[in-house]
Amino acid sequence: MRLFWSIVITIFILWVWELYELQQDFKKDRLNPIQKYEYHLKHLTKVQIRRLKIMPYSEYLKTEHWQFLRSAALYRDKYKCLDCASRSSLQVHHRTYARRGCERLSDVMTLCEDCHKAKHEKRQNIFDKFI
């Protein structure tokens, strides 16, 4: 009889847990982009993070992870370039690639296309001085 009740209780706990998870998924639809990114990040596995780190960058930019991060950065920066306040041709720039796959929101910034090109040119010029 104890075995029977142990099984019943286990099934009940699993059922309640599944309902909780469903509730969290429904709740996710009402979150702002930053909260969605934090939710997404919290549910990434080590294997998923490793895959994101080693995949080619062009593929990385097509992932759901990048879309969550990009949306969060644009939302945080009020859909404006942080350098010139332009609202057109916005791109999200990595300040560092050290945590690629599990970036902090502070690892990226919103820039317009022109400012983004200028950042990369500046970085390249600094790099060229050391060669």
Q: How far apart are CA 93 and CA 117, in angstroms?
A: 10
Q: What is the largest CA-CA distance in the chain?
A: 78
Decide if pLDDT at 127 tops 60: no
In this structure, the answer to whether residues 70 and 56 fall within a common structural domain is yes
pLDDT of residue 21: 74
Domain range for residue 23? 1-30
66: Cβ–Cβ under 8 A, 6 or more apart, which residues? Answer: 60
Average pLDDT over residues 64-73: 97
Strand partners, 112: 90
Q: Tokens 């300040």 appear where? A: 95
Number of domains in the chain: 2
In this structure, the answer to whether residues 60 and 25 fall within a common structural domain is no
Q: Are 27 and 35 contacting, i.e. CB atoms less than 8 angstroms apart? A: no
In this structure, the answer to whether residues 7 and 70 fall within a common structural domain is no
In this structure, the answer to whether residues 11 and 49 fall within a common structural domain is no
pLDDT of residue 1: 77
CATH of the domain at 98: 3.40.1800
pTM, rounded to two decimals: 0.73
Average pLDDT over residues 44-69: 95
pLDDT tens-digit map of 4-43: 888 888 888 888 887 777 666 656 667 899 999 998 999 9
In this structure, the answer to whether residues 42 and 101 fall within a common structural domain is yes
pLDDT tens-digit map of 83-116: 999 999 999 999 999 999 999 999 999 999 999 9
pLDDT of residue 28: 60
3-state secondary structure of 104: coil
